[in-house]
Amino acid sequence: MSKKRVLFVISEDWAFISHRLHLADAAIKAGYEVGLLTRVTIYGDMLEARGIKLFHWDLNRGSLNPFVALGTVWQAAKLFRSWQPNLIHAVAQKPILYAGIAGKLAYHCPRVSAMGGIGFIFSSQSTKAGLLRPLISRLLRWAINGTRTRFILQNDDDIALLRKLGVARIETVRRIKGSGVEIDDFKPSPLPKGTPMVILPARLLWDKGIAEFVRVAMRIKAKGIDVRFVLVGDPDPNNAASIPEYQVQEWVDSEAVERWGRRDDMPDIYPQSSIVCLPSYREGLPKVLLEGASCARPVVAFDVPGCREIVRDGINGFLVPFGDETALELALIKLIQDSKLCAEMGKAGRKIVEAEFSQNIIAAETFSVWDEVL
């Protein structure tokens, strides 16, 4: 009996590695043949060595050109017909939309669409997003819904919003709380000695709260408090919210923050920190806060969708009102100046992750959704 084939569809191989590799590994162990349609970069050999069949995909995340989009959809449709997966698992808005169109028009098989966050179109208040929202809503509604489809979202706020817009249907939507975290890799460790360090591990996008983090860092340092603030990430030129390189360099030159860039060794980075901060504007369920909590670090974020799923205010960190930089400053100072509180909150966060967010839990919940449509 031949193995069932599952094809993951995602824009970038690095995003697949950071958020879905564990699921692919678990699927292979469960007896699936796993393929990946993505932009293949330097990680191709590593992915193939794990038994994943790679297919290169030229998806331009930053393009709104309809002719480019049609070419990308056609490329996916040809691959669907040639490889003939039993299940398509698409991740993030554009791959979901393109895979949905290709599946509707050219290759009918069960599809699962997993959206980590609702994205620029549904979260931004800009004129551009407002103009595109009705069109994208209609296309997504058509592309993702069907008798053998499921739509995975990560928090109740996103489910409510997309149901209100008519995108998500109650009979097909499922909630799975994030991508999970490998708790054996992201292990608890003692707080480091010496100067406390606050890290913000994320792509350098305006809507990740990078500017707010830098301004708060400047204010805290101006008070003479001994602390380091570190940005662990790089800009993402294909994202409309990417921060220009010159702006990042200005912040670094001001000595308010350090910049360590994107790192592939995050299990070694969190133990060097005292606090993990993500003042994002909105998330699905942020993996970096899960990882930080798994490493027994207190987590601090704005009280926004996604972040409030993992940050339990006063228990494993602090939630502060959205956009309130003074509250963010006070929360960070409280932790910077109280290592005992950091340790207590870190232990609480680790327990929460073990109970609710381990990758084994998330994989089992995802396989259950697959079983609904296969």
The pLDDT of residue 1 is 56
Cβ of 374: how many Cβ atoms within 10 Å?
14
**Is the alpha carbon torsion for 283, 288, 293, 297 positive or negative?**
negative
Cβ of 128: how many Cβ atoms within 10 Å?
12
DSSP state at residue 194? S
Is residue 156 within 8 A of residue 174, CB to CB? The reply is no
> H or E element: which one contains 69?
helix 66-83
**One fold for 5-180+359-373 and 197-356:** yes
Distance between terminal CA atoms of the chain? 16
The pLDDT of residue 202 is 97
Angle between helix 359-373 and 21-29 (nearest 10)? 70
Angle between helix 325-336 and 210-222 (nearest 10)? 60
215 vs 204: CA distance, rounded Å:
15
The pLDDT of residue 96 is 94
- Maximum alpha-carbon separation in the chain: 68
Residues sharing a CB contact under 8 Å with residue 233, sequence separation 6 or more, in sequence order: 200, 201, 202, 203, 204, 261, 262
The pLDDT of residue 230 is 99
Tell the CATH superfamily of the 197-356 domain.
Answer: Glycogen Phosphorylase B; (3.40.50.2000)
Question: 260 exposed, middle or buried (CB, 10 Å; 0-12, 13-18, 19+)?
Answer: middle
201 vs 301: CA distance, rounded Å:
12
Half-sphere exposure of 362 (CA within 13 A, CB side): 28
Query: Which pLDDT tens digits describe the chain residue by residue (374 residues)?
Result: 578 999 999 999 999 999 999 999 999 999 999 999 999 999 999 999 999 999 999 888 777 787 888 999 999 999 999 999 999 999 999 999 999 999 988 888 999 999 988 777 777 777 777 787 888 888 888 888 888 999 999 999 999 988 988 888 889 999 999 999 999 999 999 999 999 999 999 999 999 999 999 999 999 999 999 999 999 999 999 888 999 999 999 999 999 999 999 999 999 999 999 999 999 999 999 999 999 999 999 999 999 999 999 999 999 999 999 999 999 999 999 999 999 999 999 999 999 999 999 999 999 999 999 999 99
Q: How many residues does the chain have?
A: 374
The pLDDT of residue 90 is 97
- The candidate with the shortest Cα–Cα distance to 172, out of 159, 183, 161, is 159
Apex CA 349: angle with CA 335 and CA 295, to 5°? 85
Pairing verdict, β 53-56 and 87-91? unpaired
What are the phi and psi torsion angles at 91 (to 5°)? -125, 125
List the chain domain ranges: 5-180+359-373, 197-356
Pairing verdict, β 258-259 and 299-302? unpaired
358 vs 39: CA distance, rounded Å:
27
The pLDDT of residue 147 is 84
Q: In CATH, which of 3.40.50.2000, 3.40.190.10, 3.40.140.10, 3.30.450.20 is domain 5-180+359-373?
A: 3.40.50.2000
User: Which tokens hold the place of 120?
Assistant: 């620029």
374 vs 84: CA distance, rounded Å:
14
